Amino acid sequence: MDIFRAQSEAACPPIEQESAARGAGLTLAERLRRELEAAIAAGRLEPGSRLDEQEIAARFGVSRTPVREAFRLLAASNLVELRGRQGAVVRSIGAHALIEMFQVMAELEGLCARLAARRATPEQMDKLRAIHEKLEQVATLRDVDLFYDVNQEFHEALYEASCNAFLADQTRRLRNQVAAYRRRVTRMPTRISDTLREHAAVIQAVEQHDAERAHKAMRDHVSLLGDNLLDFLAAFG
């Protein structure tokens, strides 16, 4: 039995609403974890940066106890390393590990695209097209950080269109681990124009309900990100 086809006619679960509901009862430590996770993903906390427990506690107006718990939560997600007396450090990822992570990312995002080709609603397709048009407009501004942020919206919309909340969550978790490195790739000379072309191929395949082609288009898109990253690291170390 094809487990993907079995749910193809089912209504999409409200992934964004589920995420909001889960966030409604967050503890203080979990809220701090989210704030720090967002800072890491945005590149405001670079790989190798030390997280100052006292400074973070003062910034958020809390005691050190929830800060330590937030560090433990981040460590469980492989976003930081706990180094005893040295404290918490934003995790740095070596080239070999990055290759492996991008290989898995490519398959996860490819699966999101495959399922989206089978399940995306007209409203979700409209959202994907709207974000792509927004990306095209942002590309003319040459604002790399803004382009990266809107690009993240596109990927989130594709996760939502997969209608699989568990897959979306797992894909997002891995994406967050490599987010700082993916942001660096966006600064490469042809990456913005390549992204627009690759996204257009994904949208076309999803629109035509071609699950196999959608999977391949998204998998190739993320795989090329990984290759670009290694080129970036080799050139600028």
Averaged over 208-212, what is the pLDDT? 97
Joined tokens for residue 23:
């966030």
Instruction: Give the whole-angstrom CA distance, residue 148 versus residue 152.
Output: 6
Residue range 40-97, pLDDT digits in tens: 887 788 888 899 999 999 998 999 999 999 999 999 988 999 988 778 999 888 888 8
Joined tokens for residue 168:
């979306």
CB distance 182 to 225 below 8 Å: yes
SS3 assignment, position 59: helix
- The domain defined by 25-90 folds into Arc Repressor Mutant, subunit A (1.10.10)
Identify the band that residue 228 occupies on the pLDDT scale cut at 50, 70 and 90: low
Please state which CATH number belongs to domain 94-236: 1.20.120.530
CB distance 90 to 51 below 8 Å: yes
What pTM did the predictor assign? Answer: 0.75
Domain ranges of the chain: 25-90, 94-236
* Cβ partners under 8 Å of residue 130, min gap 6: none
* Cβ partners under 8 Å of residue 76, min gap 6: none
Note the pLDDT of residue 13. 46
Exposure string of 124-140, with b = 16+ CB inside 10 Å and e = fewer, is bbebbeebbeebeebbe
Region at 89 (left for phi over 0; alpha for psi -120 to 50; beta for the rest): beta
Residue range 113-135, pLDDT digits in tens: 999 999 999 999 999 999 999 99
Radius of gyration of the chain from its Cα atoms, rounded to whole angstroms? 19
Averaged over 27-33, what is the pLDDT? 91
Identify the band that residue 236 occupies on the pLDDT scale cut at 50, 70 and 90: very low
Instruction: Give the whole-angstrom CA distance, residue 220 versus residue 210.
Output: 15
